[in-house]
Amino acid sequence: MNWHCKSFDELSTAELYALLQLRSRVFVVEQNCPYLDQDDKDQDALHLWCSDGQARMLACCRILPAGLSYPESSIGRVASDSAARGQGIGRQLMQEALACIRMRWNNVPVRISAQLYLQRFYESLGFLPVGESYLEDGIPHIEMLLQTKTEPG
């Protein structure tokens, strides 16, 4: 598996197309959730994805700096190809995303808007629920926060 993390300006047109195609396939087609994916945040995001030996995109997410969606940095548009599910790629994707955040912005807090059925998965990565669940595009979600890790001193 090959991991890539690029800013919007570093993406090739083929990479951007593949990212948008995977996100549409998962969110719009599979989850039957028509929504406007292009929300003017991609231009300020880091885009993380993994591909297989044939350069087929298996999973992706976008990483937003603090202040763009939330006061904290955030990870969103987390998607994995249906053929790649059940192989631990989602966990690897989130671990890589958190590593990208640490490299770029150190140990800053990270907020996500998680689909409610994935709450335990995100808790296993250290995220804690914040507030009550809510509907987003007709799907139950919950905000979750991963606090800054402090070094023992």
Cα 108 versus chain centre, distance: 16
Whole-structure pTM value: 0.93
> Residue 54 in contact with residue 83, Cβ under 8 Å?
no
* Residue boundaries of the structural domains of the chain: 2-107
What homologous superfamily does CATH list for 2-107?
Answer: Gcn5-related N-acetyltransferase (GNAT) (3.40.630.30)
**What per-residue confidence (pLDDT) applies to 152?**
46
Of the candidates 68, 49, 61, 67, the residue with the CA atom closest to the CA atom of residue 1: 49
Residue-wise pLDDT for 53-84, tens only, equals: 888 999 999 999 999 999 999 999 999 999 99
